Structure 1
Amino acid sequence: MTLTATTAAAAAGVGLAPTSGHAASITDIEKQVSALNAQAEQATNVYDGAMEQLANLQKQVDNLQGEAATMQQSMNQVMATLGPLAAASYRAGSVDPTLELMLQSHPDQFLQQAATMSQLGQAEAMNLKTLKLEQAQLASIKKQAADRLAQLQQAEHQAADMKAQIVDKFQQAQSLLSQLTYTQLASFDYSGVSAAEIAAVPPATGRAAIAIAFAKSKLGTWYLWGGTGPQYDCSGLVQAAWAAAGVSLPRTTYEQVNVGYAVPAILGDLEPGDVIFYNGDEHEALYIGGGLVIHAPTTGMQVQYGHWNMMSISGIQRMT
C-alpha cells in the first residue's frame, strides 16, 4: 500500500484544500500516513474475512431453514395418518401408557403385548414413533439455525466495526495530507513506472495471461475496501483476476498467501501471474513481468502499475 501523485487528485475530490507545508514535516507526515494506510489495510483484511464469513453463514442459515421446512412438512404428513387417540396424545404433549410402552427402546416388547392394546394398530404405532423422532430432529435443526444466526449477527457487528476503523484511518490520513501543497503531495509518488517500462513488459502465456489481462482491464478503477467487483481492494483484484483464468482463490491476503507454492523474492525467479505479498501480508499485487506489478493500492487511489519491490516483500506465491 503506497501513496502516489493520484493522492492529490483524491484529496481534491474529498474537498481537502491544499495548504502551505514545511519541508521538514513531509517525512513525518509520510510516515504517519503510511502507518495509517497500513492500519486501514489490516482492518480491510479483517473486514473482507468478516464479509466472507457472513456469506457462508447466510448459506448455512438458508439451508437449515430449508431443512426445517421439509421436516415440518414431513411431520404434518405423518400427523395426518395418526388415529384420534395418538394424535390427541401427541398434541397434548403426553403419551398414553400404551404409547409410552410402544416408544421404549425395545418396540418388539410392545408387539408381544399387542393383544392388550387393540386400540392401536402397528402401522399407527410406527408412525407415531417416526413423528417423535422427526420432532427431535426438527428441534435440533432449529437450534443449529439459531446458533448460526447468532454467529451471523456477530460477524455483522465485526464488519461494521472494521468499516468504521477503515473510514477513521482514511480520514486521519487525508487530514494529514491536507497540510501539504500539491507539489509536496506529488513528491509522495513512489511508483515511478514509466510508459517505456510498461511497453517493455513481455507477453504472458497460459492462465497467467488471462489473469493479467483482467487486471489490466481494471487499471484506473478506484480502490474500494471490501470490493470484489466492479471496484476492488488489493486481494479482491487478485482474486477476481485469477478467477477469470479459472483459478479459485480465497478472499483475503492472509488466506491467499497459503495458496500455491512459495517463490524466492528474486526478480529472476519471478513469472507472470505470481502474487507478491507486502508488509507482513497486509498488501498484495499481481506480477505481470518486466519487474512490474498491477495492484489496488488503498482508499482514494486507482488500480495502477508498480514496481515489484515497491514495498517490503513478505512472500511470493505461484498459483499454478
Structure 2
Amino acid sequence: MSSHRRPKQPNPAYTGILTATAAAAVAVSAAPASADPLPDPNKKGVQAQVDRLYEEATQATEKYNGTKEKANKLQQQVDDMQDAAARQQGDLNDLRAQLGLLAAAQYRDGGIDPALQLALSTDPDTYLEKASALDRISARHSGTLRQFLAQQRALQQHRTEATQKLTDLRETRTELADHKKAIQGKLAKAQQLLNTLTAEERAEAAAEEQRASRASVRADLGNQASASQRGAAAFQAAQSRVGMPYVWGADGPNSFDCSGLTSWAFRQAGISLPRTSQQQANVGTRINNLGDLRPGDLIIMRSDLSHVGFYAGNGQILHSPKPGAQVRYEAIATSGMPFMWGVRIG
C-alpha cells in the first residue's frame, strides 16, 4: 500500500470562500452532527447558540439522507412492480385471446363449454371457486386455462404489492419533507442569530474559519500506508476534494456533507457505501482503537454516529465538518467530536 502525504490543494478557487460575508450567510448548508459535546465552553452567547443549531441541523441532515435513500429504493421497487404488472397484463391478454379462439371454435361445434364461460367471465373468483369444472375440459384446453388463472393471480398479487409500496413511498416522501423543513428551520434560526453579530464579531468568526483552513493546508499526515487498496483509492479521491464547500444533503462532486464525501469517495474506488454515517458505521471491519487506524479507514464520530470522515494519518481526520466550512484536514483531538470507532473497507 502506498503512503499518504497531503497533496497539493487542487481547487484554489475554493480556499478563500470563507470571508466575513460568507460567515454570515451559511444558512444554505448543514452537516450530520450530534449533541454529544457541548459547544466550546470558551465560546459565549450568539456563537454558542449558532453552534448548537448547526449540530441539530446536521443530525436532521443524516435523517434526511437516510429517508431519501429509502424513498429512492421504494421508487425503484414501485417502477419494477409496475413494469412487471404491465408485462403480466400483456401475457394475460394473449391468453385471454387464446381462450376466446377456443370458445369460438367450441361455439361452432355446438356450444361453449361451461368452464370456458367461467374463465372468460368478468368475475374470475367465480371460476376459482368452481375449479372442478376444469375436469370437463379436454387436457389441451385445461393447460391454457390453468396458465390463464395463474397469470391472473400473479397479476393481482403484483398490483396489491405495488399499491402498498406506493403508500409507503408517499409516507416516506412526507417524512423526507419534514426532515428538510427541520434542517431549513435550524439554519434559518442560525442565520437570524448571525445577523445580530457586529461587523467585528463577523470578522472574528470568518477569521476562525480561515485559521482552520490554513491549518488544513499545513496538516502533517505522516507517511503511514493504507491498509487496503480500495481504502487508499477512496482516500485519494477524498483528498482531491479538499477546499470544496459543505452543503447539507450533497454527495459531490463539488459539494458534500460528511457522509456524502465518504460515499462519493468510495464510489470512485468502485465500492458502493450506504448513504448515512450510521449505516457506514456498520460496514467493513470495525477498528476500536484510534491508534490502529490507517489512512483511508473511515472514522465514526459522536455517540449517535452522526459524523464520519477519513482517517488521514498522524491523528488527523479528513472530513466535511459543518455549515460554512470546507472539506479539510483537522486534528481529531481538537475537533470537538468524540471518536467512536473506525471502519476498514476493502
The two structures share one fold, judged by TM-score above 0.5: yes
Alignment of 1:12-51 (within 5 A): 12-13=24-25, 26-51=43-68
AA partner of residue 166 (structure 1): I
Q: Which residue pairs with 2:251 in the alignment?
A: 228
Kept in 1: contact 2:259–2:308 (CA 8 A) = yes
Is 2:302 aligned against 1:282? Answer: no
Q: Which residue of 2 aligns with 1:67?
A: 84
Measured after TM superposition, the shift of residue 131 of structure 1 is 1.3
The C-alpha deviation readout for 1:198-242, integer Å capped at 9, x for no partner, is: 355427453333212211211222222221222221001111112
Distance 1:71 1:157 in 2: 31
- TM score, norm. by length of structure 1: 0.80
Q: What whole-Å deviation, never above 9, does each CA across 1:244-302 have from its counterpart, x for those lacking one? A: 22333211111111112332343x32210122222221111111112222211223332
Please identify, of 204-213 and 70-79, the stretch whose mean Cα deviation from structure 2 is larger: 204-213
- TM-score, normalized by length of structure 2? 0.75
Hey, what does 1:6 align to over in structure 2? 18
What secondary structure, in the 3-state scheme, does the structure 2 residue paired with 1:194 have?
helix
Q: How does 1:100-119 map to 2 (within 5 A)?
A: 103-104=131-132, 110=135, 114=136
Give the count of matched residue pairs: 294
In the alignment, what sits opposite 2:219?
Answer: 198
C-alpha contact 1:265 1:313 (8 A) present in aligned 2: no
How far the C-alpha of 1:149 sits from its partner, in A, is 0.8
Superposed CA offset, 1:9-65 (max 9, x none): 4234469xxxxxxxx995133332222112111111111111111111111111111
Work out whether 1:312 is the aligned partner of 2:338.
yes
Answer 1 or 2: higher relative contact order, Cα 8 Å, separation at least 6: 2
- Which range moves more in the overlay, 191-200 or 241-250? 191-200
Question: Which residue identity does 2:341 align to in structure 1?
Answer: G
* Structure 2 counterparts to residues 1-320 of structure 1, below 5 A: 6=18, 8-13=20-25, 26-82=43-99, 83-84=102-103, 85=112, 89-93=118-122, 103-104=131-132, 110=135, 114=136, 120-180=137-197, 181-186=201-206, 188-189=208-209, 191=212, 194=215, 197-198=218-219, 201-202=222-223, 204-205=225-226, 206-230=229-253, 231-266=255-290, 268-280=291-303, 281-309=305-333, 310=335, 311-320=337-346
SS at match of 1:92: coil
Structure 2 CA distance for partners of 1:77 and 1:192, relative to 1, 3 Å: closer
Task: Indicate if the aligned counterparts of 2:230 and 2:345 stay in contact, CA closer than 8 A.
Answer: no
Q: For the residues of structure 1 that align with 2:216 and 2:42, how far apart are their CA atoms?
A: 32
Q: Is the 8 A contact 1:204 1:288 kept in 2?
A: no
- Aligned partners of 2:340, 2:152: CA distance in 1, in Å? 54
- After alignment, is 303-312 or 81-90 more displaced? 81-90
Q: Pairwise CA RMSD of aligned residues?
A: 3.0
The 8 Å contact of residues 292 and 305 in structure 1, kept in 2 or not, is answered as yes
Do the aligned partners of residues 188 and 169 (structure 1) sit closer, same or farther apart at CA in structure 2, a change above 3 Å counting? farther
- Unpaired runs of 5+ in structure 2? 1-16, 28-40, 104-111
Identity %: 32
Return 5+ residue gaps in structure 1 as ranges.
16-23, 115-119
